[in-house]
Amino acid sequence: MKEHEVRDKAFAMPLTSPAYPPGPYRFIDREYMIITYRTDPEKLRALVPEPLEVTEPVVKYEFIRMPNSTGFGDYTETGQVIPVSFEGRKGGYTHCMFLNDHPPIAGGRELWGFPKKLASPTLRAEIDTLVGTLDYGPVRVATGTMGYKHKTVPEETVRAALSAPNFLLKVIPHVDGSPRICEIVEYYLEDLTIKGAWSGPAALSLNPHALAPVAELPVLEVVSALHVVADLTLGLGKVVHDYLK
C-alpha cells in the first residue's frame, strides 16, 4: 500500500476494516429517559473542567435506547450530563457514558471525545413503569424508574432542550503516554423530529462502584423526569478550547 493510499483511506482503525463508517450518523426512534436530580455542588464543581462553568447543582441522568442508528446498529446507553455554561452559552457537559456496543464506543471516543465505557445498560417499559438500569459486569450500579407517559410535554420545550450545545472533554494520548489531544469539543443534535415527550414521577438509585463511579454525584433530590422519542442526526463537533496551546 502506497503512502498516498494510506492517507486517502485513513479514517478510523483498523485501516482496512474500520470499527465504524463515516457519518452522517442518523438515529431513528431514539428513546430517552432523563431524570434530573439535585446533587452536592462542591463535588460537581470538582468534576467539571474549566473553562466550563457549573450553572446549578443538578445532574441529568440519562438512559437512551437506540434501536436504529446509521453505522452503529442497535444499542443502549446511559450516563450523566451536567448543565454548564461556556462563553455565555448554556448547554450540557457529558461526564460519563456506559453502553453495550463497540462501534459507537470507538467512534464516540475517537471522533467527538465521548467518555464511553463498555457496560450493560437497559431501558424498557414494565407494565406502567419505564425502567432503566446499568450493570457493570455482574454489579447493579444504577436504577431509574418513571411513571409511563403520565403527562404530555410541549414539543417546543423538548426541542429547545435537545437543541442546546453539548460539550465534551476529548483526550487522546501520544505514544509515550503524554496527552497529544486535550480539548473541549462542542457539538449539536441536528434535524430533530420529536415524536413524543412525557413527564411523570421518577426515582433514581446510584450505587458505588470503583470503575463506574456515578454515585460520586449523589442523588439528594429528584427534580423532574422526561421521556422522549425522537429522530435526530448526531452532528460532528468543533474544538472550542485547546488545553495544549
User: How far is residue 147's CA from residue 151's CA, in Å, rounded to a whole number?
Assistant: 9
pLDDT of residue 66: 98
Q: Mind listing the pLDDT tens digit for each residue in 161-198? A: 999 999 999 999 999 999 999 999 999 999 999 999 99
What would the pLDDT profile of 195-212 be if each residue is shown by its tens digit?
999 999 999 999 999 999
β pairing state of 58-69 and 139-147: unpaired
DSSP state of 215: G
For residue range 33-92, list pLDDT tens digits in order. 999 999 999 999 999 999 999 999 999 999 999 999 999 999 999 999 999 999 999 999
Is the overall model pTM greater than 0.85, yes or no?
A: yes
Of 95, 110, 100, residue with least CA distance to 18: 110
- For β-strands 151-152 and 189-199, DSSP reports them as antiparallel
Give tens-digit pLDDT for 93-143.
999 999 999 999 999 999 999 999 999 999 999 999 999 999 999 999 999
Residues forming the active site: 116
C-alpha 235/C-alpha 245 separation (Å) is 25
Residues 140, 207 contacting (CB under 8 angstroms): yes
Q: Which residue has the cell 460539550?
A: 167
